[in-house]
Amino acid sequence: MIGIFGSGTPSGSITGGKLITISGANLGNATVVDFGTTPATIVSDTATQIVVTTPAETAGTVDVTVTTPGGTTPSDGVQFTYLDVPTVTAVSPTSGSPTGGTTVTITGTNLSDPIATVVFGGSAATIVSDTATQVVVTSPAHPAGTVDVTVTTPGGTSATSAADHFTYVSAVSLTGYSQFAVGADAGGTGTVTVYNPDQSVAYTATPFGTSYTAGVRVAVADLNNDGAPELIAGTGPGVENQVVILDGKTHQPLVSFVPFEATFTGGVFVTTGDVNGDGVPDLIVTPDQSGGPIVAVYDGAALGKGQVVQVARFFGINDPSFRGGDRAALGDINGDGVADLIVSAGFGGGPRVAIYNGATIASGAPTELMPDFFAFESTLRNGVYVTAGDLTGKGYADLIFGAGPGGGPRVRAVDPAVLLAAGSFSTLDDAAVSTAGVADFFAGDPTSRGGVRVAVADLDGSNQASLVVGSGAGVAAAVTTYTGKAILANPASPTADFDLDPLPGFSGGVFVG
């Protein structure tokens, strides 16, 4: 009597090629092992055991027989089942977030015999249910890009084709929006102006009322997926902290909330980017003067519906006793399709920068991508302003820093790939990161000491972000823009795309976003 075992299941693909062990008696010197009428390839044999490679056959169950000089084993129920190779004819939906978690239905044939694995570009999915013609899975995390979805059963692995493509789509903008907002610093009007790429005014708004003069910190982001980015405004020092979000189409309030304790009057900063992988930018709020280095994360999709849902809250600078607040930006600096968090020390702090893996932010205990470092000379105080965008068109965001109050209007942009590869460094002037520089220039009078505010926007419709800079405290209100192409053409002194005087006669500086 002989029996078949090996993988535990007497079955395999119609393409053959499976190693099978046949056990029995008097099997030595076997000359032929037939699967049906097709001979297998004998790998080894002894009197009690033969190892063979199955031949190709049509689907179905066949008898397995062994021929030796002593004769041929009888066909008495020892069989092997050939299974068709699975095929994938469609996947739905055809795209999802790089963070995974998308429910995907795979349609095809021979998908359950039983199913073994479903793989998205090398990463295993979680199988929810399966039949012979349909499998439902939860997509795994994977960097942005298009991958093949393959199904593996005992019958083999599905061949790749255009029908099995699934695209991991990054919701993280590398170039910014085609609109940008300008708000006055303290002492100026409470009116915020939103500009189009051609310098025309899209609209104006007074998120905190017409008599408000404490300064408005601004950002724009499409929180309700209607194609019109919302205006996000935060209060400056001297008044109760507040964030107001205005609908990008109607310009009416969507939601207003107090992100910190009501007694805090040090002002707030706002920035956006998708950190929870739902395809909608989320909101980061950080405190300004007298606040701790807190990062508060709010769900952008909920805000777009008028609801305030906090995702996480933690210290962005590892010094809880620091009371100069912090400033933040979001940008995908490692190319994984998730917005990473860039945090700088605020008022009274050095130009210290910490960068966190965006995929870990929602946990409330984010991990850093690199050591903290100084963006400018360590003697500079009042921190730095930060933003991130793909100035170079490489497919990930560059880091962009503007000097804080007390510094000149110096702008410095660096390639994060060099920083990520460097390992240990403490300043952008270290030899280990000497090749990281993308640009280093003064966006204004080098002798002024108001610092410079920075943001990115899509002003030319290219794959390179444009840079928007706003004059710092105590300096005449001015906005200057530079395309990514101009910055690369002359990193030390790029040609401006255009200049704006958003608040004629006001000399208190402006915020851009």
Summarised one tens digit per residue, pLDDT across range 39-49 is 999 999 999 99
Question: What pLDDT is attached to residue 3?
Answer: 45
163 and 63 housed in the same domain: no
Q: Which of 38, 66, 83 is the last residue of a domain?
A: 83
Contact predicate 411/452, CB 8 Å: yes
Residues 291, 399 within the same domain: yes
Residue 275 and residue 321 share a domain: yes
Rounded to an integer, what distance in angstroms lies between the CA atom of residue 163 and that of residue 109? 13
Residue 509, strand partner residues: none
- Rounded percentage of the chain residues whose pLDDT exceeds 70: 97
Six-digit token string for 77: 């129920």
We report the CATH number of the domain holding residue 341 as 2.120.10.30
Residue 368 and residue 332 share a domain: yes
Q: Do 276 and 399 belong together in one domain?
A: yes
What does residue 3 show for φ and ψ, rounded to 5 degrees?
-140, 155
Beta-carbon-side half-sphere exposure of residue 407 (alpha carbons within 13 Å): 29
Same domain, residue pair 200 and 130 = no
Residues 6 or more apart from 261 whose CB is under 8 A from it? none
User: In sequence order, what DSSP letters do the residues of 105-156 get, joined into one string?
Assistant: EEEEES--SS--EEEETTEEPEEEEE-SSEEEEEPPP--SEEEEEEEEETTE
Per-residue confidence band for 407, with pLDDT thresholds at 50, 70 and 90: very high
Task: For residues 299-326, give the mean pLDDT.
Answer: 95
Secondary structure class of 163 (helix, strand, coil): helix
Query: Do 210 and 161 share a domain, yes or no?
Result: no
**Is the peptide bond preceding residue 114 cis, with omega within 30 degrees of 0?**
yes
> 57, 83, 109: which is the final residue of a domain?
83
Q: What is the CATH number of the domain that holds 75?
A: 2.60.40.10
Q: What is the mean pLDDT of residues 328-353?
A: 93
282 and 418: one domain? Answer: yes
- d(C-alpha 234, C-alpha 218), whole Å: 6
Residues 24 and 115 placed together within one structural domain of the fold: no
**Looking at residue 156, what is its pLDDT?**
87
Final residue of a structural domain among 147, 168, 189:
168
At 4 the pLDDT is 46
For the residues 13-33, what does the mean pLDDT come to? 89
β-bridge mates for residue 296, sequence order = 285, 313
In this prediction the pTM is 0.74
* Rounded alpha-carbon distances, angstroms, from residue 474 to 387, 405, 509: 22, 9, 6
| β-pairing verdict for 180-184 and 165-168 | unpaired
Q: Which residue has the tokens 């912090």?
A: 326
* 175 belongs to a structural domain: no
In a domain, 107, yes or no: yes
pLDDT at 171 over 80: no
174 part of a folded domain: no
* Whether residue 449 has pLDDT greater than 50: yes
Domain that holds residue 96: 87-168
pLDDT at 8 over 80: no
Average pLDDT estimate for 24-28: 87
Residue 173 lies in a domain: no
Regarding whether 253 and 147 lie in a shared domain, the answer is no
Q: Name the strand (E) or helix (H) holding 265.
A: none
329 shares a domain with 258: yes
Say whether 432 sits in a helix, a strand or coil: helix
Q: How far is CA 183 from CA 57, 237, 341, in A?
A: 74, 14, 23
If asked whether residues 45 and 96 sit together in one domain, one would say no
pLDDT at residue 101 tops 90: no
Q: Are strands 384-389 and 352-356 parallel, antiparallel or unpaired?
A: unpaired
Helices (H) and strands (E) in the chain, counts: 3, 44
